[in-house]
C-alpha cells in the first residue's frame, strides 16, 4: 500500500498548489507615517525586509523606508519648502489627480528619518530619489504589478532575473495604476529605484511561487517507508 502511495505521489509531482495574489498595500494604521524596515502583505502571507539607499537629488540628507499617509492633511504643507509633501496628499495635491483615489498608505524613501519604527510628523521624501529593495523571507515570488504615485520614473531590477523594467507616471504629480511587473519570476529580492525623483509606490502585488502539491504526500510516504524498514529490522 505504501509503495503504491509513493508511486502516486511521484506521478503527481508535476502538480502545483494554486498561487494567489498578495498585496503590499501599506495601509496598516499602526505604521502610517512611520519609518519601517520590513513590510507584510495585507493577508499576512508574505513578509519582506527592506533595504533603502538615500537619494542624491532634492534635499536628501538621509534615507529610510517610510509609509506615507496620503490621506493625512498634516502631511501637506502650505508650500513645498516645508517638511511634508503636498503632491502626495489627496487634499493638498496641486492638480487634484489624487482626489478620491483612496490610496491610503504608500511607501517612500523618507529623507526625514534614519531609524526604523520612528513616527514622522510630517513624512517627506524631499524629492531625493533613492531606492528600496524588498528581500522576501522564506519564499520566492512572482511579481505582478505596482502603482506609482507623484512624478517618479521607477526602474525595477532583481538579483534573480535578467528582466529590467522602467515605468513612469502619466503626468507630473499624478499616478499610474497597475504597472506590469510580470517579467519577473522566481524572485528573492527586487529593487525599486526612484531615479532621483519624488515619488512613492503602492499596491505592490506578488504571488508566492507554488510548492508542488504532491510534495507533502511524497514526504509522508518516504517517512512511512523508513518507519516500516526500521520495524522489520527490529523484528
Question: Does any domain span residue 116?
Answer: yes
Q: Do 2 and 85 contact (CB within 8 A), yes or no?
A: no
The mean-pLDDT minimum among 8-12, 138-142, 177-181, 212-216 falls in 8-12
Sign of CA dihedral 65, 69, 72, 73: positive
User: What's the pTM value of the predicted model, to 2 decimals?
Assistant: 0.78
- Report the C-alpha gap between 75 and 52 in whole angstroms: 21
36-85 pLDDT, tens digit each: 999 999 999 999 999 988 877 655 556 789 898 887 767 665 554 445 66
> Which positions ≥6 away from 144 have C-beta within 8 Å?
21, 181, 182, 205, 206, 207
Domain range enclosing 70: 19-209
153-197 pLDDT, tens digit each: 899 999 888 899 999 886 666 788 899 999 999 999 999 998 878
**Total domains present in the chain:** 1
16-38 pLDDT, tens digit each: 456 799 999 999 989 988 889 99
Element (H, E) at 116: none
- Report the C-alpha gap between 177 and 171 in whole angstroms: 12
Question: Does any domain span residue 58?
Answer: yes
> Which positions ≥6 away from 149 have C-beta within 8 Å?
70, 88, 98, 103, 106, 169, 175, 199, 200, 201, 202
Question: Does any domain span residue 14?
Answer: no
Question: Does any domain span residue 179?
Answer: yes
Question: Does any domain span residue 221?
Answer: no
Q: Do 205 and 46 contact (CB within 8 A), yes or no?
A: no
Q: Please state whether 227 falls in left (phi above 0), alpha (psi between -120 and 50) or beta.
A: alpha
- Report the C-alpha gap between 131 and 194 in whole angstroms: 6
Q: In degrees rounded to 5, what are phi and psi of residue 50?
A: -115, 135
Question: Does any domain span residue 113?
Answer: yes
Sign of CA dihedral 119, 124, 125, 128: negative
Amino acid at each position: 500500500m505504501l509503495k503504491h502511495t509513493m508511486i502516486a505521489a511521484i506521478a503527481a509531482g508535476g502538480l502545483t498548489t494554486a498561487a494567489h495574489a498578495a498585496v503590499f498595500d501599506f495601509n496598516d494604521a499602526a505604521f502610517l507615517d512611520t519609518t519601517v524596515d520590513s513590510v507584510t502583505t495585507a493577508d499576512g502571507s508574505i513578509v519582506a525586509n527592506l533595504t533603502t539607499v538615500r537619494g542624491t537629488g532634492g534635499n536628501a540628507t538621509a534615507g529610510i523606508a517610510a509609509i506615507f499617509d496620503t490621506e493625512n492633511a498634516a502631511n501637506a504643507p502650505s508650500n513645498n519648502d516645508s517638511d511634508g509633501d503636498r503632491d502626495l496628499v489627496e487634499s493638498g495635491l496641486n492638480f487634484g489627480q489624487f482626489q478620491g483615489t483612496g490610496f491610503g498608505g504608500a511607501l517612500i524613501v523618507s529623507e526625514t528619518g534614519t531609524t526604523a519604527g520612528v513616527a514622522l510628523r510630517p513624512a517627506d521624501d524631499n524629492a531625493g530619489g533613492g531606492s528600496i529593495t524588498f528581500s522576501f523571507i522564506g519564499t520566492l515570488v512572482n511579481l505582478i504589478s505596482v502603482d506609482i504615485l507623484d512624478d517618479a520614473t521607477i526602474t525595477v531590477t532583481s538579483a534573480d532575473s535578467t528582466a529590467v523594467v522602467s515605468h513612469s507616471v502619466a503626468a507630473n504629480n499624478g499616478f499610474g495604476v497597475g504597472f506590469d511587473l510580470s517579467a519577473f519570476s522566481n524572485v528573492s529580492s527586487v529593487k525599486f529605484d526612484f531615479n532621483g525623483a519624488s515619488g512613492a509606490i503602492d499596491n505592490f502585488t506578488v504571488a508566492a511561487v507554488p510548492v508542488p502539491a504532491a510534495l507533502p504526500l511524497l514526504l509522508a510516504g518516504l517517512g512511512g517507508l523508513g518507519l516500516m524498514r526500521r520495524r522489520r529490522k527490529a523484528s
